[in-house]
Structure 1
Amino acid sequence: MIPFRKMHGLGNDFVVLDARAGALPVTPARAAAIADRHFGIGCDQFIVMEPPPAGADVFMRIRNPDGSEAGACGNATRCIAALVAEERGADRVVVRTIAGDLPVERLPGGLWRADMGPARLRWDDVPLAYKADTLHLPLAFGPVSDPAACSMGNPHATFFVDDLDAIPVTEIGPRLEHDPIFPDRANIGFAQVLAPDRMRLVIWERGAGLTLACGSGACAAIVNAARRGLTGRRATVTMPGGDLVMEWRESDGHVLMTGPVATAFTGTLDLGAYGS
């Protein structure tokens, strides 16, 4: 039996396994089976902590509920950083993913701030299937059109809408995620700007579907909103699970994300019970 933790950031939830002491036989199929909310434990992303490479305190491997590998997850980054920081009695941790290093620091009030790195704005960084203006993609479906796109280690497109409650996210999200303009699929955000320092956001996550919160989606939303002059470079992003404070730092283009972490419960599991 293998210990696991069920953690979440604003309801964006994760099953976390610790493989730092030795490799675990976690396959994409097993990750997907454990992530299943009916027959497994259930989660938005399946996280494995691996031995820290040079220059980092831990390596975080991320799998979506369909078993595919993701390069970034902001809420999971804060959760894993909090675990490692508590182990070490530290206030700063560097989490490495396949997309790069993410420094995270403890703040007062149980909050953690993650430096999610620079937003990548070139069409081939997102990536898109062909050269296009990432500030105004030639994409429309149903009631939405004209998104902005960027990469936060994973591809994002943000649609800005007048009334978020009127958008049938579960109907159009899957179609937009798989649009041919996104060769690797994309996370699809729907944002309603409320003020220069506040917006509402709902995310249809690539490989996960509708989630209560998405850290990298909030990163993309503040970057894309600021690029269009709809907000400043700092804003509170309200998602169904709660608020993240976001800042697109002008000095270096890095995106800073501040929010809470929580452990829901711990337990053990038998990987062999979840296929091969």
Structure 2
Amino acid sequence: MTAAPDPSRRAPAAPVRPERLAVVKGHGTENDFVLVDDRAGALDLLPADVRFLTDRRAGLGADGVIRLAPSADLPEGRACLAEDAAAVWFMDYRNADGTAAEMCGNGVRVTALFAERLGAWDGAGELVLGTRAGVRRVRRVLDPTAPAADAVGPPWYAVEMGAWRLVGGGTDTAGDAEVHVHGLPVARPGLSVDVGNPHTVVALADVRELEAADLAAAPQVSPAPPHGTNVELVVPLGEHSGPDGLVGEVRMRVHERGVGETRSCGTGACAAAMAVRTWAGAGAPDAWWVHVPGGTVQVTALPGGRVELAGPAVLVADAVLALPTPS
């Protein structure tokens, strides 16, 4: 059950930028975040604050900042409440460069664990969470990689990620973009996939090519997507029979817009699995293991063109930071 905001809470006349900020550090398959409790709806974080918090030398270091806030306090949150009245909490996600992003699949799982710790969700049933990509539903699940049911490890969460689609409408499944990746000799075709945020998936021949790619600089995508794009490099690893049927496997690296290369990307894992499933054609598995530098997640194609992401979430530290004086 999700704990609703106190109906007697009165928002301040204007959000306040504090001098010192209590935060929590967490990650999902090493895609890491600074988490901020703003259930009172009282904080004003500037883009410069986000850049400071995520700076790995001057700040705490992370791929992004997640502020847990009342949905009623944000226009996008009120739209989520109109979609589902249970979406009382909103995941306000900011890229490391300070820009707002639609959502983050790994971040949703870490937000769920954060909400549990705060008492905003009891971990039972579903957590209904507002995001700029719409409502996301999260539930606790067993870790399918654990060697035994009682194995100790980080909790796993499954996120109903909503609809996915081929941006080109599925008319050219081989690729609708050309992608030049530093470290690879020639441009490669890329398939544009929308999972609430934009992705371009590029298939490589083998793991050696994947390791040769230099993602320190952003890959060049043509035609350039109007709002930028995450770029996933994938190596299909084949299919095998599992307890629940046929399962596919993919290895992936990702360059995230506004961040750079990250150890994992949840929406990117969904985009990569759905792209490889599209390329595989009729009879392809619905379930996929996606191996990223930070670990492994499970992606499942759901009926109605929707997709689910499951994986671990970890909280690693509490900190209080002094925010720098705005210039």
Compared CA separation, residues 23 and 137, structure 1 to 2 (3 A): same
Q: Which runs of 5+ in 2 are unaligned?
A: 1-19, 73-80, 144-154, 240-247
Letter in 2 for 1:107: V
Cα distance in structure 1, aligned partners of 2:308 and 2:22? 31
Q: Give the match for residue 251 of structure 2.
A: 200
Q: Give the match for residue 41 of structure 2.
A: 22
| TM-superposition CA deviations, 1:14-41 (whole Å, max 9, x none) | 0011111132120112111211111111
Cα distance in structure 2, aligned partners of 1:8 and 1:261? 6
Letter in 1 for 2:203: F
Letter in 1 for 2:40: A
Question: Map of 1:241-252 to 2, 5 A cutoff?
Answer: 241-249=294-302, 251-252=303-304
Cα distance in structure 1, aligned partners of 2:115 and 2:163? 24
Asked if 1 retains the 8 angstrom alpha-carbon contact of 2:27 and 2:106, the reply is yes
Asked if 1 retains the 8 angstrom alpha-carbon contact of 2:173 and 2:278, the reply is no
Cα distance in structure 1, aligned partners of 2:60 and 2:273? 32
DSSP-derived class of the 2:224 partner: coil
Cα distance in structure 2, aligned partners of 1:162 and 1:123? 23
Q: Give the match for residue 234 of structure 2.
A: 191
1:136 pairs with 2:152? no
Cα distance in structure 1, aligned partners of 2:29 and 2:63? 12
Letter in 1 for 2:139: E
Cα distance in structure 2, aligned partners of 1:42 and 1:172? 17
Cα distance in structure 2, aligned partners of 1:67 and 1:96? 20
Q: Give the match for residue 272 of structure 2.
A: 221
Q: Give the match for residue 158 of structure 2.
A: 113
Q: Give the match for residue 59 of structure 2.
A: 40
Deviation at 1:194, TM superposition (A): 0.5
Cα distance in structure 2, aligned partners of 1:36 and 1:132? 42
Cα distance in structure 1, aligned partners of 2:215 and 2:142? 40
Cα distance in structure 1, aligned partners of 2:129 and 2:55? 26
Deviation at 1:176, TM superposition (A): 2.3
1:147 pairs with 2:155? no
Deviation at 1:257, TM superposition (A): 0.6
| TM-superposition CA deviations, 1:169-194 (whole Å, max 9, x none) | 335851326x5421211100000011
Compared CA separation, residues 138 and 90, structure 1 to 2 (3 A): closer
1:79 pairs with 2:123? no
Deviation at 1:134, TM superposition (A): 6.0
Letter in 2 for 1:62: Y
Compared CA separation, residues 42 and 201, structure 1 to 2 (3 A): same
Q: Which runs of 5+ in 1 are unaligned?
A: 125-130
Asked if 1 retains the 8 angstrom alpha-carbon contact of 2:215 and 2:260, the reply is no
DSSP-derived class of the 1:170 partner: coil
Q: Give the match for residue 203 of structure 2.
A: 160
Q: Give the match for residue 59 of structure 1.
A: 90
Asked if 1 retains the 8 angstrom alpha-carbon contact of 2:192 and 2:199, the reply is yes
1:4 pairs with 2:28? no
Q: Give the match for residue 268 of structure 1.
A: 320
Compared CA separation, residues 140 and 51, structure 1 to 2 (3 A): closer
DSSP-derived class of the 1:174 partner: coil
TM-score between the two structures when normalised by the length of structure 1: 0.89
Q: Give the match for residue 98 of structure 1.
A: 132
Asked if 1 retains the 8 angstrom alpha-carbon contact of 2:173 and 2:279, the reply is no
Deviation at 1:198, TM superposition (A): 0.7
Compared CA separation, residues 219 and 149, structure 1 to 2 (3 A): same
Deviation at 1:144, TM superposition (A): 4.5
**Percentage of matched positions with identical amino acids:** 30
Q: Give the match for residue 127 of structure 1.
A: none
Letter in 1 for 2:299: M
Cα distance in structure 1, aligned partners of 2:274 and 2:225? 19
Letter in 1 for 2:176: L
Cα distance in structure 2, aligned partners of 1:132 and 1:69? 31
DSSP-derived class of the 1:269 partner: strand
Q: Which of these residues, 262, 266, 288, is aligned with residue 235 of structure 1?
A: 288
- Provide the alpha-carbon RMSD of the alignment: 2.2
Letter in 1 for 2:308: L
Cα distance in structure 2, aligned partners of 1:44 and 1:165? 26
Instruction: Report how many aligned residue pairs link the two structures.
Output: 267
